[in-house]
Amino acid sequence: MKCFYQLMLDSNDKKGGTLYAPSQWPYPISRDAMEVKNWENLVLELRDGVYCPFHTCNKGANLVSEELRDLLTSFIETTDEVDFLPVKVKSAEYGENKYYIIHFRKIFDVIDKEKSIYVKETGDIIKLRLNYEKVKNLKVFNSASGVNNIIVSSEIRNAIKKAKLEMGIYFMPVYCESK
């Protein structure tokens, strides 16, 4: 069984701050497979903690630091499927920083529909399983159109830990079985 990891905010990490968009900014800032509008004018604010390599935003976006962006792009063979859109982040306490909205241009067809577990009434997935044949060569991808959906290979997870960029990140395991 091969394991991948969905990047999530680590709720036990009390150091990492939260990124806030201006109150009038429309939700969501970024939705995979849809155009991200007006991101060039977006200025976020870090509150209640320090900068981390990975943040989510109150208005719906995943953001990564320059170091994490560089690490992720080193594993991506083609940049035709993912964008890293630069935005400014300000903090009264920690100064200004540049972060990147990670935005997938498509939704990857990677779900093992037979092995995933669903909510009977809605059809929503409660336990995601990946199709090995569809993910065996992928390193960074998504599985649905949700706002917070980034999945990385074990190789990338290990590289993030080795580079000490895991602060604020919870790696939620997502499994697939080879046939």
Burial of 150 (0-12, 13-18, 19+ CB in 10 A): buried
Residue 23 has pLDDT above 90, yes or no: yes
- C-beta separation of 21 from 29 below 8 A: yes
Range with the poorest average pLDDT among 26-30, 91-95, 151-155, 174-178: 174-178
Q: Which are the contacts of 102, defined by CB distance < 8 A and separation ≥ 6?
A: 62, 63, 64, 69, 72, 82, 83, 84, 150
Q: Which residue has the higher pLDDT, 116 or 145?
A: 116
Mean pLDDT of the 141-165 span? 91
Range with the poorest average pLDDT among 18-22, 134-138, 144-148: 144-148
CB atoms within 10 A of CB 120: 7
Q: Which residues pair with 159 in a beta bridge?
A: none
pLDDT in tens, 88-103: 999 999 999 999 999 9
Rounded Cα distance, 61 and 27, in Å: 9
Q: Which residue has the higher pLDDT, 39 or 79?
A: 39
